[in-house]
Amino acid sequence: MSNLVKSPKNGSLTRRVNNPVTGFPSLSSWLDDFGIGEFPSLFSSNFNTGMSLPKVNIKESADAFDVEMAVPGLKKSDFKINLENNSLSISAELNDEKEETNDGYTRREFGYSSFKRMFTLPDTVDDSKINAEYKEGILKVHLPKREEAKEKPPRNIKIS
């Protein structure tokens, strides 16, 4: 059997070494296969609201900041995006109620979940031009920079 290289969540590489005598994986590699390393992420959810905080990517370019939030299964109308005192807040609330009746049995389930993420905006953001779109489970918020904050291309200065 060959050695396998596994990339854990922290980004470093670890080497999975099989037992040289039997050729079977070591006990620690079996525990990795059962997802024991996933338990800390179970406890990172926001238990007060019933929904874990969605993952966010923030990208800065010369002209803007772009925020992408992975929130599949929601509708555009589920979101609230507010700007107050240089703080951008993105939140959503879901009320889910289902009732099934089948052969005399009735089952009714309901749930409530929400999240709220807040970001402090730098002074370079032009808050009058912020826009957002939701498409295929990704909420994108575009935060354009003020004209004076945008990077200027290099230029030659003539000597007189």
Statement: the pTM of the whole predicted model exceeds 0.75: no
Instruction: Mark whether 33 and 110 lie in a shared domain.
Output: no
Domain assignment present for 156: no
- What percent of the chain has a predicted confidence (pLDDT) above 90? 41
Higher model confidence: residue 41 or residue 72? 72
Residue ranges making up the domain that contains 34: 4-42
Say how many domains are in the chain: 2
Q: Strand ranges (DSSP E) for 1-153? A: 4-6, 14-16, 56-60, 64-70, 79-84, 87-102, 105-120, 131-135, 138-144
pLDDT tens profile 92-122? 988 777 777 777 777 777 777 889 999 999 9
Instruction: Mark whether 137 and 98 lie in a shared domain.
Output: yes
Instruction: Mark whether 97 and 125 lie in a shared domain.
Output: yes
pLDDT tens profile 86-96? 899 999 988 77
Instruction: Mark whether 35 and 90 lie in a shared domain.
Output: no
Is 70 a residue whose pLDDT tops 90? yes
